A = this chain, B = another copy of it.
Amino acid sequence: MESDVLVQNTLELESLLAASRALVEVELNNLLPPSGAAPEKVHQAIRWSVFAGGKRFRPALLLATGQAFGAQTEQLIRTACAFEMIHTYSLIHDDLPAMDDDDLRRGRPTCHVRFDEATAILAGDALQTLAFQTIANDNRLDPSIRIALISELTRAAATPEGMVAGQALDMEAEARQVSGAQVEEIHRLKTGALIVGAARCGALIGAADEHELDAISRYGAYLGLLFQITDDLLDVTASATDLGKTPGKDVQSKKATYPALYGIEEAREKAVKAHRLACEALEQIDRPTEILHRIVDFILHRTG
């Protein structure tokens, strides 16, 4: 791809992501308990973490995938918000002192620093419940679709096939020598599962068939891998301003990362390969997947 085309496409995608972010934030604001209602501290903590300026990548992916399969935005938006709630609950709990012990997230104090540990635990717990409630109560979708979506989201978030398993394996791996295959498995569960789930849920709402769902799962898996490799690379190469968190943190805490395992050059090659495989998965789908292509391009070239 020529570089001016890339720049043009990136600009278009960025404005599309900004539009979907705005949409998701309006809906999240409607769905979450008001901060003035009791128990106020927990509701404030939920909103503090949900409205911390996240990129809303998982909702954007769900919306884009659903739209590629012909679903309407109003059929997709609640489930998109549910994925963001699950993602945010996991960030709140991962940041806790007993877990990764992070004070800063997206350039602001983390939930337990701004409030307190008990409130952060409860805010995360509540956000998880609210995610499933959001889908269960979405009367724009048939009950059988809602059940399929909840089933997908639970698999992506739980153990042994999802996010909690990934976080647990990640903690077990800290300060221990791990292989490339183990790092890949940790990230497949910790980050990949929810990304695959978001893409699959978009496709499910768009009534994708089994063959299409398989292709979307492969697309999501390589996108998730790409997302993690570029995240690790940014941790080594970017500045704190770009990241909104402390760079070099992974190295300090002896987290297993792609650059640590393979060096920066080989990690970059792995990113390029994941990008190619994600694009190949999209070739299997006879739908307008242009935006999904641009999303992988965007993640390959991202700077923050």
Chain A residues packing against B (C-beta within 8 Å): 33, 37-39, 41-43, 89-90, 93, 96, 98-99, 116-119, 121-122, 124-126, 128-130, 132-133, 136-137, 142-144, 146-147, 150-151, 154-155, 157-160, 162, 164-165, 167-169, 171-172
Contact = CB atoms under 8 A, between A and B. Distances in A.
Contacts of A116: 98
Contacts of A128: 125, 128-129
Given A37-B160, A136-B150, 19 more contacts: A33-B159, A38-B169, A41-B168, A42-B165, A93-B121, A93-B122, A118-B171, A119-B171, A125-B128, A128-B128, A128-B129, A129-B154, A130-B154, A132-B132, A133-B151, A133-B154, A137-B151, A142-B143, A147-B147
A133 B135 CA distance: 13
A80 to B, nearest CB: 18
A93 B38 contact: no
A121 B133 CA distance: 21
A39 B159 CA distance: 8
Contact of A150 (B33, B43, B132): B132
A93 B125 contact: yes
A9 B79 CA distance: 48
A172 B43 CA distance: 13
Contacts of A136: 147, 150-151, 154
Contact of A158 (B133, B157, B167, B171): B133
A254 to B, nearest CB: 16
Contacts of A172: 39, 41
A164 B129 contact: yes
B130 A39 contact: no
Contact of A160 (B39, B119, B154): B39
Contacts of A167: 122
Contacts of A144: 143
A157 B129 contact: yes
Contacts of A151: 133, 136-137
Contacts of A147: 136, 143, 146-147
B42 A159 contact: yes
Contacts of A33: 159-160
Contacts of A38: 160, 165, 169
A133 to B, nearest CB: 4
